[in-house]
Chain A
Amino acid sequence: MQAANANATETGATNDFVTVYVGDTLFGLAIERVHDVFVPSGVTPVPLAPAEIVGLLNLRGRVVTAMSLRRRLGLPDAEAEADGTKASPKMAIGLEQAGETFALVVDGVGEVLKLGADSREAVPINLDPRFRDLAICVHRLDGRLLVILDVDALLGFTTAGAKAA
């Protein structure tokens, strides 16, 4: 991560990020990792699955594993989502890892931002460890902050806690 930061600073290149929000926090995902943005519907919950996993859904004939960014970050489910699937229109981001497609369920999707190294900051050390592990860096925007998420770390959770759930 350090190395990546250094590189970007040298070249002064800009990166595109898809912004999503969960509650009041704005998150950014590298645009090259985002394959799809869609409204998740007909989610089949998977019993005994890790808490992060909302269920499976049919995305144009492919079975996709849907994961809640809220739960991944250790945040409580939104009020409307209390009963699981019958959530108010949420959005999902199609991500791919190791040939498998995942849907990251978020509260909403914002615009695509082009950001340079000048607004980039390292992840503050006082963040919650769950945030710290998933964030690459933070960008200072006008009036708010954008936390850039590491897609691989996001999808890289292990099944250790699964039995517990």
Chain B
Amino acid sequence: MDDLLREFLTESGEHLDTVDAELVRFEQDPNNETILRNIFRLVHTIKGTCGFLGLPRLEALAHAAETLMGRFRDGLPATSASVTLILLTLDRLKAILADLEATGTEPTGSDDDLISALERMAEGPAEQEQAASLPPPEPVLPPPVVRELKPGEVSLEDLEAAFLSAPGPDESDVLAPPAAREAPKAEPARVEPVEAEKTEKAEPARAEKAEGVEGETTAAAKNQTIRVNVDTLEHLMTMVSELVLTRNQLLEIARRHEDSSYKVPLQRLSHVTAELQEGVMKTRMQPIGNAWQKLPRVVRDLSAELGKQIELVMVGAETELDRQVLEVIKDPLTHMVRNSADHGLESTAERVAAGKPARGTIRLAAYHEGGTITIEIADDGKGLNLAAIRRKAVERGLVAQADLDRMTDAQVAKFIFHAGFSTAAAVTSVSGRGVGMDVVKTNIETIGGLIDIATTAGRGTTFTIKIPLTLAIVAALIVRAGEHRFALPQVAVLELVRVDAGAQRVEHINGAPVLRLRERLLPIVSLTGLLGQSAAGAEAEQAGFVVVAQVGRERFGILVDEVFHTEEIVVKPMSVKLRHIPMFAGNTILGDGAVVLIVDPNGVARQVAQGVQGSGGHIDADTDETAEVTDTKTTLLVFKGGQGSFKAVPLSLVTRLEEIECAKVEWLGGRALIQYRGRLMPLVPADAGITIKAEGTQALVVFSDGERAMGLVVDEIVDIVEERLDIEIAADRSDLIGSAVLRGRATDIINIAHFLPLAYDDWARGLKRPEQISTVLLVDDSAFFRDMLSPVLKAAGYQVVTAASADAALATLQSDPKIEVVVTDLEMPGRSGFDLVAALRRAEPRLAGLPVIGLTGTIGADAVERARALAITDLVAKFDRSGLIAALAEIGAATVSKAA
């Protein structure tokens, strides 16, 4: 009985899911007899089994639902209200089934509410409908009724027969048939009025019958399958994985022994193993449609809730993939469809206004592509609001404005995958809470999948997910980088290119390696460099292989020293202690018994992107290479400003370079302004000697901090140079930091803080060099302030290391023993500066004793009190640069005297 009940639960669960989906289809296509028959059959089966198992509650509910569906068959139009009611009933059935599964008994409770509603629905509208449809014989209604009548009867009898002949104790006879027979009895009476028109269409009826036969055969085919416990399959899969491993090991040995007589049997073993692997894999394959089953219902409910007309198109539901993969993507898919319905599609009114069809479409498509499955979720809605995403990304401190402006739309769109990122103006019950897309991405990436977005304003958004067919075994390219071998999943590999010092060579732009590949430049990263092992970068890049990989829309090359072969590897998860390293997806044991790390193309892609944009000087957790570059050199923008003198500003501070029409400059209250990107931007001359031209074009250097932007008026933009920022003559002017020699020319380095409206004008005058160069750790969550203060500190003769958060700061402090002073912003999101100092004071003696300078917006009494409690050496107002330099000098002096 127990087994029987379990069987019943699984089966009913599946049936109810199918009914869910079918009902929604039926609602849209009420004339489709096949769908209705299918629904009817499933509910009938559930009802019959319930009666047999002695589950009165379920049976009564199923019976009531069946009765109403019987009425549909008789020609009652399927209204949205009635379908909703049946869907509600199905939900109740599922709830009861869930209880049944948990406790083993049917829960007590009453379903009279639903049953009576169902009965009323079955009685009431039918009569109205009859009355309405009788006098004017509608041309549309009758044919379906005629079609429905005949096959309906036939199919029910067939069904009944099938149901009775199915193995099962006799009790079912007693319970099921009378209930089922009610429907056919009712049928003729209701349909009689239109029977006159029956002759009109005899053909469709015949066609229906044929379909019916087909339906029966599929039902018969179902008996050919058996249910196998998932654990059994899992175990089988593990064993096969091990077998594959062993075979690989044997093959490896055979490769070393030339004259072995076991080569032939080994070859056979290899074949059999491959076939076995394929066979076992097949048992775990399920059509992706299983994961989509709930979606029509979800979309229907959303459509009602949001008041949008939504059509869900599903293509390729039969595409098969590993059930483990299926489980993982089920929820992300549902989430994304919800997102598309809520955010992606506009309201009906907006759509009509935009000249689009009122009904929005969400298209789900799945297809095989090599060893992977591609799933697309596309909507024809308004597309992502990239401007809002840009704004939000800066607000949340995910990226510096300067970096952001250099990002492509595709890169910007990816911000939606950050945790807690939502641009929805209002949080609806459906989505907009900013949880989700990051989880979706994580889920997909945990199974080695990739996700990508393509969005066109006004045309819609398409998410493309690429996932491997299976998780357990993947094809991987075995490469060597430095002294060690690594496995690169084949999924991400497009091609291999051999590079040497000759024709195909790696070139460098500003130290960043690139490769010309068929008229396109491909950014290159060296695997050894990425993994922090590279000792001699330049020579190593002379010869080797570039593995051209693609992640999402980004294409890049991974430079390796040697490529061996492809091997089917069994993916083993990384140890919990190592899982945080983004570079690795797992590890495996190769044929020769060695453990090899599997490189995660997603992790590499992220590093590539960071390396490309990272010249701005965010050292925090970036690769060592970037850190070195920023340590020694600064990229400066050189321009002419005032009396032909050369001036420069660190490029990392610059947002954009613009040429504007002078005619567009407006004057308000004596200030020059320009309408820029939808807002007013003040224009400030870089030097007193510059006047804004009256006609022609004017060169601008645009600086911005979050929402604020400022245009610096210059005479001419000259060049971008990368030099060691070594300020030789400290200027006695607040608008200059000092002068330096750049490209052999004396150049003034301007102090942006002087120009920014938020700046104070008391600039550090007459900088005093500290007696000894010490390293300062600058902690500030705002990239802007980091970029602004770093040059100031460097100019004052300090080595500067930056960190974007308290956590990053602690990590840096632990790793870098050179740091002697910490300058931290006290107000930071998450762990504040006070928390950081408190953590420091608890840490090992070296860190506990570090002098700390706190930067704060307002120096209040309580802040002073807290600072004293934490032994913070000095508190400095956030914009008081001279104060900061003075405080640092004081600390330097104290250390020196202590040392002496």
A, B from the same assembly: yes
Q: Which of A58, A67, A129 contacts B589 (CB 8 A)?
A: A58
Size range of the chain A interface in the assembly: 20 to 34
Q: How far is the CB of A3 from chain B (nearest CB, A)?
A: 26
Separation of A45 and B483 alpha carbons in the complex (Å):
10
Separation of A65 and B577 alpha carbons in the complex (Å):
8
B575 lies within 8 A of chain A by Cβ = yes
A58–B594 contact, CB under 8 A? yes
Residue of A46, A57, A159 ringed by the most chain B CB atoms within 10 A: A46
Q: How far is the CB of B488 from chain A (nearest CB, A)?
A: 15
| Given known A49-B581, A65-B577, A157-B577, contact A44–B811 (CB-CB < 8 A) | no
| Given known A56-B587, A65-B575, A129-B844, contact A44–B814 (CB-CB < 8 A) | no
B183 lies within 8 A of chain A by Cβ = no
Separation of A160 and B595 alpha carbons in the complex (Å):
25
Separation of A56 and B574 alpha carbons in the complex (Å):
10
| Given known A61-B245, A100-B576, contact A42–B621 (CB-CB < 8 A) | no
B584–A46 contact, CB under 8 A? yes
B595–A42 contact, CB under 8 A? yes
What 0/1 pattern do residues 46 to 65 of A give for CB contact below 8 A with B? 11111001011110010101
Q: Which of B245, B531, B594, B807 contacts A48 (CB 8 A)?
A: B531
Number of interface residues of B (CB under 8 A): 34
Q: How far is the CB of B525 from chain A (nearest CB, A)?
A: 13
Q: Which of A42, A98, A155, A164 contacts B812 (CB 8 A)?
A: A164
Separation of A47 and B582 alpha carbons in the complex (Å):
11
A47–B533 contact, CB under 8 A? yes
A162–B580 contact, CB under 8 A? yes
B114 lies within 8 A of chain A by Cβ = no
B596 lies within 8 A of chain A by Cβ = yes
| Given known A129-B844, A160-B810, A160-B811, contact A44–B578 (CB-CB < 8 A) | no
B580–A56 contact, CB under 8 A? no
Separation of A67 and B594 alpha carbons in the complex (Å):
18
B766 lies within 8 A of chain A by Cβ = no
- Closest A residue by C-beta to B579: A159
A76 lies within 8 A of chain B by Cβ = no
B587–A161 contact, CB under 8 A? no
- Closest B residue by C-beta to A46: B578
Q: Which of B531, B595, B811 contacts A161 (CB 8 A)?
A: B811
Q: Kindly count the residue-residue contacts between A and B in the assembled complex, taking CB atoms under 8 Å apart.
A: 82
- Closest A residue by C-beta to B485: A44
CB contact list, A120-165 vs B, under 8 A: 129, 155, 157, 159-165
B756 lies within 8 A of chain A by Cβ = no
- Closest A residue by C-beta to B572: A63
Separation of A58 and B596 alpha carbons in the complex (Å):
10
B575–A44 contact, CB under 8 A? no
B649 lies within 8 A of chain A by Cβ = no
B767 lies within 8 A of chain A by Cβ = no
A164–B595 contact, CB under 8 A? no
A58–B595 contact, CB under 8 A? yes
Residues of B with C-beta under 8 A to A46 = 578, 581, 584, 597
| Given known A163-B811, A164-B811, contact A42–B593 (CB-CB < 8 A) | yes
Separation of A164 and B810 alpha carbons in the complex (Å):
9
| Given known A44-B484, A129-B844, contact A63–B589 (CB-CB < 8 A) | yes
What 0/1 pattern do residues 549 to 589 of B give for CB contact below 8 A with A? 00000000000000000000000100111111101100111
Residue of A44, A50, A67 ringed by the most chain B CB atoms within 10 A: A44
Q: How far is the CB of A41 from chain B (nearest CB, A)?
A: 10
Separation of A161 and B580 alpha carbons in the complex (Å):
11
Separation of A164 and B807 alpha carbons in the complex (Å):
11
A to B CB contacts below 8 Å, 5 in the list = A47-B583, A49-B577, A58-B589, A159-B579, A160-B811
> What residues of chain A have their CB less than 8 Å away from a CB belonging to chain B?
42, 44-50, 53, 55-58, 61, 63, 65, 67, 98, 100, 102, 129, 155, 157, 159-165
Q: What are the 4 A-B residue pairs with the smallest beta carbon separation, nearest first?
A: A164-B815, A47-B531, A65-B575, A56-B595
